[in-house]
Chains A and B, each alone.
Chain A
Amino acid sequence: MKFTIKLGDKEYPIEVLEGEEEVKIKVGEKEFSFNKEEKVFLAKTKFEKRKFKEKKILAPISGTISEIFVKEGDFVKEGQKIFLLSAMKMENEIFSDFEGKVKKIFVKKGENVKKDQILLIGE
């Protein structure tokens, strides 16, 4: 995989090569290699970070809230169904990606929402 990163006015050609045991990243003439174990470790670190993210649900697309399955004060689990959002051509089942208490719901059933509008925050 080859691509270019532009920082300021300078362009850096990058090439990523995946071998049996290692991943090589070439930046111009310089070469960096990682073994695959390290790569797994990096991915794990990234995953752990999720714990610190904000507890909120945004509208993934503009549409109408056709069902709300929770109320304020409810305790929700990760993967619990929270909203049904009907867009013009699709039904979207929105599940929680956090565990916690529902602090505030900003929308009512039947309300039109815009993409990225905050629907709910948790704590």
Chain B
Amino acid sequence: MRILEFEKLESTQKKAKEIAQNSKAWTVVLAKEQTGGYGRKGNFWYSPRGGLYFSVILPKTKIEDLQILTILAAFCVAKILKEDFKLEPFIKLPNDVYVNGKKICGILTENIILGKEVKNSIIGIGLNTNIEKIPRDLQNVATSIKIELKKEVDNKELLKKILEELKEKLEIIS
């Protein structure tokens, strides 16, 4: 597993799509901050420094299995939040994780399809970890681990854990 780390990107998802064709499966694009992070339907994802933003280039997988993987990814994150951080996560289907009624994590899978063939699939995860302050207009809808627990978490360790879980889940379903 190769992790490409960037100080700042417009979007890890966008970068991963650019390099997917020439990259090995399980290459990870990680950014300390994003200037144009986005979720489903192009919705903006607030991504200041402190949060964990990454996109994973997935191995070739059947499109139906990718759908299951996306749901499982939300379960993986929720499980870690509950078991390791004693938070009470709530999964809002299809793929957002909430804590105390506020969004803490968003997951997006994008497929590049040429005709009938899935060329590349990328799963992107934005997890609000060490974000100290949420702007006023998002305060009612978003939260972070730091706000909930009043302590910092190790982003790298968390990343490793999520990646391991994802890999395991994909092996089980495909």
Contacts and interface: CB of A to CB of B under 8 A. Distances in A.
Given A86-B40, A97-B117, A92 B64 contact: no
Contacts of A89: 67, 70-71, 94-95, 109
Interface stretch (A3-11, A16-24, A29-37, A58-66): A58-66
A93 B70 contact: no
Contacts of B63: 60-61, 92
B112 A93 contact: yes
Contact of A57 (B71, B112, B115): B115
Given A61-B64, A89-B70, A66 B113 contact: no
A60 B110 contact: no
A93 B115 contact: no
Size bracket of the A interface: 10 to 19
A105 to B, nearest CB: 16
B115 A96 contact: yes
Nearest to B118: A60
A88 B66 CA distance: 11
A90 B112 contact: no
A73 interface: no
A91 B110 contact: yes
A90 B67 contact: yes
Contacts of A60: 63, 111, 113, 116, 118
B41 A93 contact: no
A79 interface: yes
Interface in A28-70: 57-58, 60-61, 66
B172 interface: no
Which 3 pairs across A and B sit closest by C-beta, in order of nearness? A97-B115, A89-B70, A89-B94
20 contacts: A58-B116, A60-B113, A61-B63, A61-B64, A86-B40, A86-B41, A87-B67, A88-B94, A89-B67, A89-B109, A90-B70, A90-B108, A91-B109, A91-B110, A93-B111, A94-B113, A95-B113, A97-B114, A97-B117, A98-B115
